[in-house]
Amino acid sequence: MSEAQPWSQQPPSIQVAHALITSLLSSGVRDLVLAPGSRNAPISYVAAAAEAAGFLRVHPCADERSAGFYALGLARASQAFGVREEDQEDFLASSATLDAPPSSRAAQEVPTAGPVAIAVTSGTAVANLHPAVLEAAESATPLLVLSADRPHHLRGTGANQTTQQVGIFGAAPVWDFDVPASYPPAQVPSLVRRACSAALGLLSNQPGPAHLNLCFDVPLTPQFPMPVFEAAPLRPLPGQWAERRPHSLSTPTFDPGFPVDFKQVQTLVVAGDSAGPEAAHFAAQNHWPLLAEPSSRARNWNLEGAFGNTLCAPVDYQRALGLREASELAKQVKQVVVFGHPTLSRPVTRLLSSAAKVVVAADYATWPDAAAAGSEVVTATDLLDQSRAFQAEGAGLKAAEALFNEASNPGDASASSAEAGEWCQAWLTAATPELGEDPREELCARIWQQAAKDGSILVVGASTLIRVFDRVAGALPETEGELPPVVFANRGLAGIDGTIATAKGIAAHTGQPVRVILGDLTFLHDAMSLIPTLGGGQGESSLQLVLVDDEGGAIFAGLEHAQAPKELFERCFRVGQKFDYQSFAKAVGARYLAPEKDDYGWLKEANKSGVEIVHIRVPFPCD
């Protein structure tokens, strides 16, 4: 048997691929989603060697479109939950070797993981990533696209599987670079570090997709036997492993000129997609009503102990705002503070367009303000610091204490605290949820309630059902002490494509049960993501798909298009489907369940391994 040739004596394409994978590992990348192809074969060979050595997780996906959203799911879960448990020891051990004083090292946390990488071959394979790349851009999700390409001299010649891949994603990438086939392997690490830094938003404060277009010339195969892949020491990217100190216990100085008027009682806090629990703490601290979307991760927090009070969180706040036109209560709003990316409901959009003052808490270099009504933009850190400083000034704290004691000692409450209590109570009353005859409402309310009990992660289709959750999540009583469910929805561009693949990526990263709630069109749009081999197999993950089937696009029944002539509506908007879901489940190796009406026993069985499809038929709204 011949000896393995060292990496430096392998063909140029393999040398570049080796430098690429080594640099990715050094930058904290631990997951590579890989679509099979010939032109990206050098990456496949080296990635397989790195995986065999225990340094990299490779997720094979035969369909590039599904692969893109699978990678998106991995990346979004990494953002939400941090470094995977099996990687933490590696990251901590490497961070301890940094040239820093012991006190600094002791204060460090596990550093930010690198972006999720996805490698595809040339041609339409790259184009199939575009939907996921756009969603990553609009949701500020770190993703690194590695597209293989033919050498430059073949462009424009009609060569097989060759197109203009440079700039194929338009303005979506936060960084991109075209790597010629003659690129020196020694210079690849610098490129990779730039790409990973850009994807993580370490210098720009704008995470998103980065794109490396790698030209490979033949030969595309290594000399066998391949050498053993050796460890790639972690090297911090600029800002990736910066010292992280605990929040200072000292109180910041209050700035009277700060844009938020902390004395304005008639204020609302809006928490859009991915706002985070900070929005809930901010609202509770100032005793302002919180209007939180289901995927905000701020909804239904139990903040008992924060000034002795739970969060003032109206459930059906859409109804309180006025479904068709602004309610009298909504017209009284003087100030709105916005966290996250709110796009879910027209009543909130109307509120942001009409409120006298809108202050946006920006986490990134760009911020949501579709109505161009954001009169002020502040960082979330400054907002929370100033809120804390205001409370420490005395007036805020005294008002809060008086307000929260008002129920037992109404005579002790000041006029301002009583006014604040009345403001919150008015919103709670106006937003009292009422489960109607639509079976979706009770279904979503029960799913939310159960997820709070069993800790399952929810992934919700971005169309009708996320809006149902927005009106009923928290309508049913929850056990004291439970945390709100962690909810994901692709609300960056709010497309229904890739929902299943995204959920599979989230399940792969977390190893936790994931429940997906989606309509029939959303299911069919991404049905092939249920092929058993996507991501390397679905036997280990626990994925329950709650398929809410009304045979068509129910979202349009709630819009002005429902007034169109029936035949036109049915053909151009509803687009009803007849599909044998039971046979499909059998074909992809999934369990199939069609429960009877009012049978919710399946809700307690989200921890089974493998994939389960729970098929629930509901009437179409217009029917």
| Domain positions in the chain | 7-215, 267-430, 439-617
**Plot region of 77 (φ>0 → left; ψ -120 to 50 → alpha; else → beta):** alpha
Of the ranges 194-203, 309-318, 605-614, which is most confident? 194-203
Band the pLDDT of 320: cuts 50, 70, 90.
Answer: very high
Length of the chain in terms of residues written:
623
Write out the CATH class of domain 7-215. Answer: alpha beta
CATH of domain 267-430: 3.40.50.1220
pLDDT, the chain, mean = 87
- The answer to whether the CB of 175 falls within 8 A of the CB of 142 is no
Percent over 90 (pLDDT), the chain: 61
Residue 225, pLDDT above cutoff 60: yes
Half-sphere exposure in the Cβ direction for 253 (13 Å, CA): 2
> Given this model, what pLDDT does residue 17 score?
98
Is residue 595 over pLDDT 80?
yes
- What is the reported pLDDT for 8? 92
To the nearest 10°, report the CA torsion of 65, 67, 70, 71: -110
Quote helix, strand, coil % in the chain, to nearest 5.
Answer: 40, 15, 45
Min mean pLDDT across 97-106, 218-227, 517-526 is at 97-106
pLDDT tens figures, 535-592: 876 556 789 999 999 988 777 887 888 888 988 988 888 888 889 999 999 999 999 9
Least confident of 23-37, 48-62, 252-266: 252-266
243 has pLDDT over 50: no
Arithmetic mean of pLDDT, 132-144: 97
How far apart CA 428 and CA 421 sit, in angstroms, is 11
- Looking at residue 372, its pLDDT comes to 73
Find out whether 522 and 163 touch, Cβ atoms under 8 Å.
no
The pLDDT, as a whole number, for residue 163 is 92
* Residues contacting 614, CB < 8 A, separation 6+: 544, 545, 546, 547, 593, 594, 595, 602
pLDDT digits (tens, 9 = 90+) for 337-395: 999 999 889 999 999 998 889 999 987 888 877 767 667 899 888 999 999 899 887 65
Look up residue 450 and give its two tokens. Answer: 């159960």
Residue 107 pLDDT class (50, 70, 90 cuts): very low
Mean pLDDT of 202-210: 92
Report the Cα 561 to chain-centroid distance in Å.
30
Model pLDDT, residue 404: 45
Check whether 98 has a pLDDT greater than 80: no
Q: Which of 157-171, 190-204, 246-260, 379-393 shows the lowest per-residue confidence on average (mean pLDDT)?
A: 246-260
pLDDT grade for 91, boundaries at 50, 70 and 90: low
Q: Quick one: tokens of 135?
A: 């969603």
Q: What is the pLDDT of residue 92?
A: 64
- pLDDT, mean of residues 129-139: 97
The model's pLDDT over 455-490, given as tens digits with 9 standing for 90+, comes to 889 999 998 999 999 999 999 887 655 678 899 999
Q: How far apart are CA 367 and CA 339, in angstroms?
A: 9
Confidence of residue 410 (pLDDT cuts 50, 70, 90): very low
Q: Which of 166-180, 358-372, 417-431 shows the lowest mean pLDDT across its residues?
A: 358-372
Q: Given the structure tokens 């990678």, which residue do they identify?
A: 71
pLDDT of residue 303: 62
* Crossing angle of helices 415-430 and 395-404, rounded to 10°: 60
SS3 call for 111: coil
- Residue 579: its pLDDT value, please? 93
Of all helices (H) and strands (E), which one includes residue 449? Answer: helix 439-454
pLDDT at 399 over 60: no
Which residues, at least 6 apart from 296, have a Cβ–Cβ distance to it below 8 Å?
A: 271, 272, 273, 274, 275, 276, 279, 339, 340
Residue 119 pLDDT more than 90?
yes
252 pLDDT band (50/70/90 cuts)? confident
pLDDT at 94: 57
The H or E element containing residue 549 is strand 542-549
* Count of beta carbons in the 10 Å neighbourhood of residue 194: 18
Instruction: Note whether 7-215 and 439-617 share their fold.
Output: yes
Q: What percent of the chain has pLDDT over 70?
A: 86
DSSP 159: -
CATH fold of 439-617, please? Rossmann fold (3.40.50)
- For residue 106, the model assigns a pLDDT of 35
